[in-house]
Amino acid sequence: MERIGNFINNAVVFDDNARLAPVFNPAEGAQIADVELSSEATTVAAVEAAANALEGWSATPAVVRARVLFKFKALVEENRNELAELIVRQHGKVFSDAQGEITRGLEVVEFACGIPHAQKGEHSLNVGRGVDSHSMMQPVGVCAGITPFNFPVMVPMWMFPIALACGNTFVLKPSEKNPAPAMFLANLLQEAGLPEGVFNVVNGDKTSVDVLLSHPAIEAVSFVGSTPIAEYIYSTASQNGKRCQALGGAKNHLVAMPDADPDQVVNALMGAAYGSAGERCMAISVAVCVGDETADKIVSRLTDAAKSLKVGPGIGQEVEPDMGPLISGVHREKVLGYIDQGVSEGATLVVDGRDLKVAGHENGYFVGPTLFDNVTTDMRIYNEEIFGPVLSVVRVNNLEEAIRLANDHEFGNGTAIFTQSGRAARQYQEKVKVGMVGVNVPIPVPMAFHCFGGWKRSAFGPLNMHGPDGVRFFTRMKTVTSRWPESSQMQAEFSMPTMK
């Protein structure tokens, strides 16, 4: 059985006394590896390695740091098929989706390669007579990233490329459910020429997380995961004097207006609700249909489309399926429990994915596409994040009701409106209290040079992921005001200094 350790000081490190956790192939329901759950001592060793490397790396010219990332980008592209296969084996998503995840991660690397420009400060000449001011964007220090299972490559690459480009060192704690992709990336960074200790991977559970949240050498913590954990990460890191960005859960609404093309809406919903088995923080899990006629058209088409959706293992098939398994048996049972709950609460179960069996993969963690109609706002399946292939249809009378639904929900990650009316689209994007909005775009994930982040209980902290906010998060601003007078011109001033 393969044993997955840690990556510290550019070397794979094993701890014979570490606790072990099983790593499964979700399509098979079979264990394929053991991962070490690092002790406090091992986690501290990773932090100390990053702290020891900080002075040298932060003093490295930005253009040299960018060249390492350019090389890393090329290596990822050269090895992307192998990396995608690792994602499929340990996460379960289909191969093309794994490839797409890598591409979106690489877009952040490309953005980070422009750090010599993005990290430039500002300068003002003669803010007073003979007085100049300029700002410097300096590295924060040792940074930590704690990332989820659903994007084992993309989400880490939302964090560490920008952190490294800005001159910080980094400790990554990936999900223990699929740790191999992070180790693969660490080896590519080493091959790209990253010095020892600049990037480290520590596999583990809450023990490792708590070390990262409390260790005095850690200056910044970046997190993506569920809202309860995001809140814990943010509050604990903040109490320990660290800056923190923590992205949490979601319940993303797609509003279908009466003038929207129903076929376009259904195609959008199929990919956004059932892609990656719904294990995306930007998945659409609520379709808000304005008017019963709109709802009837969409539900009818969704029913046929969902029933014809192909489900199976993400690799090794002659024809790639549309959707793979869920991450674990435990999570599968949780999703099945939500479907049972929706039935007991009175929602109309239009398509039932509970009894799906995939031939040759009967032990896999599969749940078929599931569709509920007549869902109301007092139901758990509406209020809670299911993180599975379950789509709920809510019927409303007008756009104002649709906006109120999204605004009243505790989450505010992503949303979309499908319409041919520019007026309706403008009203929705202006009034909806959600961080990312799509207009005829079902999953409005911003490009790397913009920022990713939600509102309300979908995000904690003032700065979002990647884009300009990413650079701001991983740097500290220092402002210098300077004057070079003749010595005879210097006089004591006892009032508040002003520029004359």
Catalytic residues: 281
Residue 273: which of 283, 287, 263, 288 has the closest Cα? Answer: 283
Q: In what order do the strands lie in the sheet with 2-4?
A: 2-4, 30-37, 19-25
- Phi, psi for residue 54 in degrees, rounded to 5: -65, -45
- Phi, psi for residue 186 in degrees, rounded to 5: -60, -40
125 three-state secondary structure: strand
Cα of first residue to Cα of last residue in the chain, in angstroms, is 74
Query: Tokens 């490329």 map to which residue?
Result: 161
Report the alpha-carbon distance of residue 44 to residue 168 in Å, rounded. Answer: 17
Three-point CA angle 218, 477, 128, nearest 5°: 155
User: Which tokens sit at 373?
Assistant: 């109609």
Please name the residues in contact with 317: beta carbons below 8 A apart, sequence gap of 6 or more. none
Report the alpha-carbon distance of residue 94 to residue 113 in Å, rounded. Answer: 29
The crossing angle, in degrees rounded to 10, of helices 154-165 and 95-112 is 10
Query: Tokens 């990262």 map to which residue?
Result: 212
CA dihedral (445, 450, 456, 462) in degrees, to 10, reads 150
Alpha helix segments (H runs only) across 315-473: 329-344, 380-383, 399-408, 422-431, 467-473
